[in-house]
C-alpha cells in the first residue's frame, strides 16, 4: 500500500503529466486522501483536521453524515466559503522576535486562549454518544469558547454543569414570543453571558445532500429517534412546552426583535448570520453588542459569497464599535489568521470539530483545537505577529 501511494505521489508530481492537469490532479487527490485501510487510530496521530474527517466519515452513519455535510441546493455557498480562503496569501515579515506569543482574545470581559471558537452545531449526539458534553469538555480543557445551539441534544444546564463553566447560547427565535423568552431566560439563568441570535434561516431551506445520503442509510430511524423523528422541537430546550404550531424560526421577524430581546435579557446580544454592510450598520443601530458574519456554513442562502469575502464590508460598516466574529469554511490556522487580518475579532469552526467528535469524542475535539491553534501560531510567526493586535491588513494580500 505504502509503495503504491509513493508511486502515485511520484506520478502525480511528474512533469510528464504537467500538460494533463485533470490526470495529475486526480492522482494528487488519490495520494492525499487516506483510504479506509490507513485511517489514524488515535486522535493524537491526526496531522490535520482532514485526518479526523476521514475517521468520522467511517464512524458516522450516512444519514447523520449527510446532516453534517449538507449545504443547500447545489452547494455553491458551501464551496464559496472554502474558496474564499485560497484567494488570500500571507505576507511574511522577518527578524521579529516571535519566541513569546500571545494568542489570547478578550470577548465581553472573558479571556479565551485563542480566537478560535466552537460554533453552535445542533444535535451533536448524532455524531457521538457524548455529543455536546464531549465538545464542551474539550473546549473547557483548551480554554476556548463554545456556543451551544438551541437545538442541542443536551440542555444548556447539563452542558454547563459537565464542563464547569459558562457557554454562550445560540437562539433560534421561534415563531412564538413566549417560548422565545422562556429559552432566553433559561439560558441566562444557567449562566450564559451572551446570546447569539441566528437570523439566516427565516424561511426554511433546501438541503439535498442530507436527503440523498439518508436514502442510502439502511438503519431504521425510529429505533433511535422517538416518535416525532428528528424534529428540532423534540430537543431538551423545548421540553415542557406545547410545541403545537411552533417553528424554530419565523419569516416575519424584523429589527425590532433585537430591541424586544434586549428588554428581556441582560445577556449581551449578538446577531449571527448577516453578511452585508447595510445589515451590519443596522445591527449597531438596533443595539446589537456584536455580529457574526456567517451563512450557516453554506446551509442558508444559496449562491452567496464566502464569508471571508463579506467580512471586509461588515468590518467597514461596524467601524470598531462592536466585535465582528466570522465563521464558515475555516479548516486551517492560516484561515484563522486571514480572517483576523481582515478585521475579525474571533473565528468560528463548525464541521471540523464535529469531525473530531465523530472520530474520537472529546480527545478528537481537543486534537482539532490543538492542530488549529498550532497552525495559527506558526502562521503568526510567519507574518511576524506576536499577538492578535499585531495581525493587520498588511499580514495578507489578495491574489492578483
Residue numbers annotated as active site: 296
Q: Is 174 in the site for ligand FMN (CB under 6 A)?
A: no
Q: Is 199 in the site for ligand FMN (CB under 6 A)?
A: no
Name which of 350 and 356 has its Cβ closer to ligand FMN.
350
The residue from 52, 55, 330, 372 that contacts ligand FMN (CB under 6 A) is: 330
| Residue span 52-91 as binding mask against ligand FMN, x where in contact by CB under 6 A, dash where not | ---------------xx------------x----------
Q: How many CB atoms lie within 10 A of CB 129?
A: 10
Q: Show the 3-state SS of 320-387.
A: CCCCEEEECCCCCHHHHHHHHHCCCCEEEECHHHHHHHHHHCHHHHHHHHHHHHHHHHHHHHHHCCCE
Piece in contact with ligand FMN (CB under 6 A), picked from 52-60, 133-141, 289-297, 367-375? 289-297
| Residue that has been written with the C-alpha cell 498550532 in this structure | 374
Q: Is 343 in the site for ligand FMN (CB under 6 A)?
A: no
The residue from 62, 66, 115, 120 that contacts ligand FMN (CB under 6 A) is: 120
Nine-digit cell string for 56: 468520522
Sequence-distant (6+) residues with CB within 8 A of 220 are none
Q: Is 115 in the site for ligand FMN (CB under 6 A)?
A: no
Ranked by CB distance to ligand FMN, the top (closest) residue is 350
* Alpha-carbon torsion (43, 49, 50, 52), positive or negative: positive
Q: Is 325 in the site for ligand FMN (CB under 6 A)?
A: no
Q: Is 306 in the site for ligand FMN (CB under 6 A)?
A: no
In the DSSP assignment, the letter for residue 119 is P
| Residue that has been written with the C-alpha cell 508530481 in this structure | 13
Q: Is 107 in the site for ligand FMN (CB under 6 A)?
A: no
Question: Residue 159, SS3?
Answer: helix
- Point out which residues pair with 126 in neighbouring strands: none
Q: How far is the CB of 294 from ligand FMN (least distance, A)?
A: 4
Describe the chain by its helix, strand, coil percentages, rounded to 5: 50, 10, 40
Q: Is 315 in the site for ligand FMN (CB under 6 A)?
A: no
Q: Is 375 in the site for ligand FMN (CB under 6 A)?
A: no
Closest CA to 102 of 377, 334, 387, 395: 387
Q: Is 144 in the site for ligand FMN (CB under 6 A)?
A: no
d(CA 169, CA 298): 21
Q: Is 151 in the site for ligand FMN (CB under 6 A)?
A: yes
Name which of 119 and 371 has its Cβ closer to ligand FMN.
119
The site for ligand FMN (CB under 6 A) is made up of 67-68, 81, 119-122, 149, 151, 170, 198, 272, 294, 296-297, 299, 327-330, 348-351
Amino acid at each position: 500500500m505504502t509503495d503504491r501511494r509513493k508511486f502515485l505521489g511520484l506520478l502525480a508530481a511528474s512533469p510528464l503529466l504537467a500538460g494533463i492537469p485533470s490526470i495529475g490532479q486526480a492522482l494528487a487527490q488519490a495520494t492525499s486522501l487516506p483510504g479506509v485501510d490507513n485511517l489514524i487510530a488515535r486522535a493524537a496521530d491526526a496531522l490535520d483536521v482532514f485526518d479526523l474527517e476521514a475517521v468520522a466519515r467511517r464512524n458516522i452513519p450516512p444519514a447523520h453524515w449527510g446532516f453534517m455535510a449538507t449545504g443547500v441546493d447545489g452547494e455553491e455557498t458551501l464551496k464559496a466559503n472554502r474558496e474564499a480562503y485560497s484567494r488570500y496569501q500571507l505576507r511574511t515579515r522577518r527578524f521579529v522576535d516571535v519566541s513569546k506569543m500571545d494568542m489570547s482574545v478578550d470577548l465581553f470581559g472573558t479571556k479565551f486562549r485563542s480566537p478560535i471558537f466552537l460554533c453552535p452545531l445542533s444535535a451533536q449526539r448524532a455524531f457521538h454518544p457524548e455529543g455536546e458534553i464531549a465538545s464542551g469538555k474539550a473546549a473547557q480543557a483548551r480554554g476556548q469558547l463554545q456556543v451551544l445551539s438551541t437545538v442541542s441534544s443536551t440542555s444548556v444546564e447539563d452542558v454547563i454543569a459537565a464542563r464547569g463553566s459558562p457557554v454562550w447560547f445560540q437562539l433560534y427565535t421561534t415563531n412564538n414570543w413566549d417560548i422565545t423568552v422562556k429559552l432566553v431566560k433559561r439560558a441566562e439563568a444557567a449562566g450564559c453571558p451572551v446570546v447569539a441570535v441566528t437570523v439566516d434561516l427565516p424561511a426554511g431551506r433546501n438541503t439535498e445532500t442530507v436527503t440523498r445520503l439518508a436514502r442510502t442509510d439502511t438503519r431504521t430511524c425510529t429505533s433511535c429517534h422517538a416518535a416525532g423523528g428528528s424534529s428540532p422541537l423534540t430537543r431538551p430546550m423545548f421540553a415542557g412546552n406545547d410545541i403545537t404550531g411552533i417553528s424554530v424560526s419565523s419569516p416575519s421577524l424584523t429589527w425590532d426583535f433585537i430591541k424586544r430581546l434586549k428588554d428581556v435579557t441582560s445577556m449581551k446580544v449578538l446577531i449571527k448570520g448577516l453578511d452585508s454592510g447595510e445589515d451590519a450598520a443596522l445591527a449597531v443601530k438596533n443595539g446589537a453588542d456584536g455580529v457574526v458574519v456567517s451563512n450557516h456554513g453554506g446551509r442558508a442562502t444559496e449562491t452567496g459569497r464566502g464569508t471571508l469575502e463579506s467580512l471586509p464590508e461588515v468590518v467597514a460598516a461596524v467601524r470598531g464599535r462592536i466585535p465582528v466574529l466570522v465563521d464558515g469554511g475555516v479548516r486551517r490556522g492560516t484561515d484563522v489568521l486571514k480572517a483576523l487580518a481582515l478585521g475579525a475579532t474571533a473565528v468560528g469552526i463548525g464541521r471540523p470539530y464535529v469531525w473530531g467528535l465523530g472520530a474520537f469524542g472529546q480527545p478528537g475535539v481537543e486534537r482539532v483545537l490543538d492542530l488549529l491553534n498550532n497552525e495559527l501560531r506558526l502562521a503568526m510567526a510567519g507574518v511576524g505577529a506576536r499577538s492578535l493586535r499585531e495581525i493587520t491588513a498588511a499580514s495578507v494580500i489578495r491574489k492578483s
